[in-house]
Amino acid sequence: MKQYVIDELRPQDQEKIKNYLDDHFGPAEMGTIYWIPVDTSLYDPKQAAHKECHPLVFAVQFEEASLVAELLVRTKNKIRCDCIQYATEDQFLWLVRLLDAIFERLGVIS
């Protein structure tokens, strides 16, 4: 699995990150998994056509000292579909910039 990993998070930053994720993306599911919806303007044509699969999301796992974002764009509505695929370059950059902006807003240093 391709992933974007931020590790070695300081203990004093972990609660800030968890609170932000809870407030903006809902409580974690399956223990430590958050679902971050992909900006719809970034859907490729196949993803945009699969309206029954929307919203498309990135799975982000937040653990004690790390945040791991899968680079697979998926749907929570189906296990298999042609629209489930690795992030395009634009989707990848959007996710990295989103996470970086969250860390900057929170004053988190990793």
Question: In which element (H, E) is residue 94 found?
Answer: helix 89-106
The string of pLDDT tens digits covering residues 39-98 is: 999 999 999 999 999 999 999 999 989 999 999 999 998 889 999 999 999 999 999 999
The pLDDT of residue 43 is 97
Tens-digit pLDDT profile for residues 17-46: 999 999 999 999 888 999 999 999 999 999
- Confidence (pTM): 0.92
Task: Assess contact for 55 and 108: CB atoms under 8 A.
Answer: no
Provide DSSP, 4-57. EEE----HHHHHHHHHHHHHHH-S-BTTTEEEEEPPGGG--HHHHH-GGGPSEE
- Cα distance between residue 76 and residue 70, in whole Å: 14
In this structure, the strands spanning 85-86 and 66-70 are unpaired
pLDDT at 110: 55
